[in-house]
Amino acid sequence: MTCPYCTAVLPDDDLFCEECGERLSKETAEAAPALCACGAPSEDVDEDGYCLQCGRRCRPAPGEHEEQELSADFAAVTDRGLHHARNEDRFQIASESGRHIIVICDGVSNSNSADAAADTASKCIAGALGAGAGFEIAIKDASEAVAQLGLRVFLDSAPSTTMVSAVVENGSVEIAWMGDSRAYWIAKTDSHQLTKDHSWLNEVVSSGELSYSEAAKSARAHAITRWMGADADPEMAPEFATFQIPGPGCFLLCTDGLWNYAHETEQLAELVLQAPESASALEIARDLVAYANEKGGADNVTVALLRFTE
């Protein structure tokens, strides 16, 4: 059958659309109401979601909003936000035999084809980690693949992306990152940021060149200093960290589309911990994305959440 909301082709016995999440019934699907406000049917809407009769955007383009739920405790959501023309964030999550993989890539918005860079990097890293490779090999392969995008297509402003990735197994977390996407541990008794942004602000403060308050006033404060792309400095390697899960809590990865509206860890922790105990990881991730959009939605936003109940 065909979903009447997003036109995805689905198995006849599906209760929910795997693409847009809407509840389905055979009767409503077969009715196939007009998809666009002008009355155009679903077959007159192109693959990017635009009506071929009136030109309106009547459903999200691929990648504008994506959700994936692997269990009640493991899910991810990405959304275009309110002001960007497209979503240049990408995520990959996987879980097998107690080993969990999370990859989030945030395409550098002032580079060409940033969405392609994020898509390439996320798939390369997740694929390599899933095949058993270590972080160094996975990121090296992904960096080369993203660099090739620039060499083939653009000689200036090459496609670029940041990334934060994690492998969680047996209560231990390995994290790798380049740029300003972050990893957090959120718990009732102890919440803290596990990564440190690769930004101009952090560099000049760490070097003692400027105080934090002085650096924060600069227009360059949040300029990233590490990324993947043909124009990336080969000396700027990814950074790595390990973390032992101390008990019940949430391991959260996100792009700056979220943390720009919750700068302090305590703010983000409050947003996560206010969710009812019955809420799933997917519901919490959706709420965090909705919060970012309610606060202004200035950027693409992506959240991945892995919850530990014991």
Q: Regarding predicted confidence, which is higher, 245 or 35?
A: 245
Q: Is 24 exposed, middle or buried (0-12, 13-18, 19+ CB in 10 A)?
A: buried
pLDDT of residue 159: 92
Compute CA distances 300 → 192, 229, 292, whole Å: 23, 20, 9
CATH class in words for 65-308: alpha beta
Residue 48 has pLDDT above 90, yes or no: no
Residue 2 has pLDDT above 60, yes or no: no
Q: How many CB atoms lie within 10 A of CB 133?
A: 15
90: helix, strand or coil = strand
What's the CA gap between 224 and 222, in Å, rounded?
6
pLDDT tens-place string over residues 207-226: 888 887 888 788 887 789 99
What's the CA gap between 104 and 126, in Å, rounded?
10
pLDDT tens-place string over residues 115-124: 999 999 999 9
| Predicted TM-score of the model (pTM) | 0.80
Strands, DSSP E only, in 15-159?
65-71, 74-79, 89-96, 99-107
pLDDT tens-place string over residues 188-209: 989 999 999 998 888 888 888 8
Q: Partners of 51 in the beta sheet?
A: 45
Locate the domains of the chain by residue range: 65-308
* Residue 196 identity: K
H or E segment at 149?
Answer: helix 135-153
41, two tokens: 């049917």
% of the chain surpassing 90 pLDDT:
61
